[in-house]
C-alpha cells in the first residue's frame, strides 16, 4: 500500500511538471534530468571561473608577471581621482566575499534559470563572463594597453551591474547580495579611476584646475548613487565601499593639495551621513 501511495505521488509530481512545461510525462522526466545537468554545469563553471581569476590575479599582482604590477602602472602618473594604495586591499575582501557567494550559489543553483537552450544558468553565465572580462582587463592594464582596458572594464562594470540587479531582485539574503554589491561598487570606482588615469596620462594635465574640481564632483556623484542604491535596493554595502574609496582619495591627495584632501575626506563624512542617517524617521509631518 505504501509503494502504491509513493508511486501515485511520484506520478502526480511528474504530471505537474509536465503541465508546467507543456509536455508529457516523459518530457517531465527529461526536464528534470536536464535541469540537474544545468545545475551541475553551472556550479562547476562558476567555481572554475573563480579559481582561474584568482590564479591570474596572483600571477599579475603577487608574482609581478611581466616585471610590474597594476599599482606600479597606476603610479606612473598622478591622477587626482585615485585612492591611496592601501585602499586597493579591498580586492582581497571582494574575492573572499565572492567565495562565500559561490558557496551560497552552489546550494541554490537549481533555481538558476537556464540561459536559453544552453545548459548554464543565467546567473552563472553572468558571473563567468565577468571573470573573463576581469582577467582581460587586468592583462590589458598590466601591459599598458590603456584604451582597450577602458573598454573592457566598462564592459565588466555593465556585466556585474546586470548580475547585481538579478541577484538583488531574486534574493533578500545578505550572503547573496553583499558580495555582488561590494564588487559592483568597487568596479564603479575603479572604472572612473582608470578613465581619469588614462586622460591624465594622455593630456599631461596633472595640475589642471579640472583635476580638483572633477574629483569633488565625481565624489558627490558617487554618494548620490550610493543614496539611490540604499533607497532602491536597501543596499548598505554599496555606500560603505564609496566611503572607503573617497576617504582613500583624500589620503592620496594629502601631498598634492592638503585643502582639497581635507575637503574630500569631509565630503566622505557628509556622504556617509547622507547614505546611512535614517532620514525617513525625521521627516517633517504636515500639520493637520
Assigned C-alpha cell, 195: 578613465
Strand partners, 121: 114
Does the structure show a pLDDT above 90 at 224? yes
What pLDDT score was predicted for residue 33?
Answer: 52
Cell matching residue 87: 585602499
Q: How confident is the model at residue 28 (pLDDT cuts 50, 70, 90)?
A: very low
**Vertex 281: Cα angle to 278 and 282 (nearest 5):** 100
Q: Which of these ranges, 3-12, 151-160, 229-238, has the smallest mean pLDDT?
A: 3-12
Q: What is the pTM of this model?
A: 0.84
99: cell is 567565495
| pLDDT value, residue 287 | 56
pLDDT digits (tens, 9 = 90+) for 49-105: 999 999 999 998 887 776 777 778 888 889 999 999 899 999 999 999 999 999 999
**168-197 average pLDDT score:** 95
Does residue 265 surpass a pLDDT of 70? Answer: yes
Amino acid at each position: 500500500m505504501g509503494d502504491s501511495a509513493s508511486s501515485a505521488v511520484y506520478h502526480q509530481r511528474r504530471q505537474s511538471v509536465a503541465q508546467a512545461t507543456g509536455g508529457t510525462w516523459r518530457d517531465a522526466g527529461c526536464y528534470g534530468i536536464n535541469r540537474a545537468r544545468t545545475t551541475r554545469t553551472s556550479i562547476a563553471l562558476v567555481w572554475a571561473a573563480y579559481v582561474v581569476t584568482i590564479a591570474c590575479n596572483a600571477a599579475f599582482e603577487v608574482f609581478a608577471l611581466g616585471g610590474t604590477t597594476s599599482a606600479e602602472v597606476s603610479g606612473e602618473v598622478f591622477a587626482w581621482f585615485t585612492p591611496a594604495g592601501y585602499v586597493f586591499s579591498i580586492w582581497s575582501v571582494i574575492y573572499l566575499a565572492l567565495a562565500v557567494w559561490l558557496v551560497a550559489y552552489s546550494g541554490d543553483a537549481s533555481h538558476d534559470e537556464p540561459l536559453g537552450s544552453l545548459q548554464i544558468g543565467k546567473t552563472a553565465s553572468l558571473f563567468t563572463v565577468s571573470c573573463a572580462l576581469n582577467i582581460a582587463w587586468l592583462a590589458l592594464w598590466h601591459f599598458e594597453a590603456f584604451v582597450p582596458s577602458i573598454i573592457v572594464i566598462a564592459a565588466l562594470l555593465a556585466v556585474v551591474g546586470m548580475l547585481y540587479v538579478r541577484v538583488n531582485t531574486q534574493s533578500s539574503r545578505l550572503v547573496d547580495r553583499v558580495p555582488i554589491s561590494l564588487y559592483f561598487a568597487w568596479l564603479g570606482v575603479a572604472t572612473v579611476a582608470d578613465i581619469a588615469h588614462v586622460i591624465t596620462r594622455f593630456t599631461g594635465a596633472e595640475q589642471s584646475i579640472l583635476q580638483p574640481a572633477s574629483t569633488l564632483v565625481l565624489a558627490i556623484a558617487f554618494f548620490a548613487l550610493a543614496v539611490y542604491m540604499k533607497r532602491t535596493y536597501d543596499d548598505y554595502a554599496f555606500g560603505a565601499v564609496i566611503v572607503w574609496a573617497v576617504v582613500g582619495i583624500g589620503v592620496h591627495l594629502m601631498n598634492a593639495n592638503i585643502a582639497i584632501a581635507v575637503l574630500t575626506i569631509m565630503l566622505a563624512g557628509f556622504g556617509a551621513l547622507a547614505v546611512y542617517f535614517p532620514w525617513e524617521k525625521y521627516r517633517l509631518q504636515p500639520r493637520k
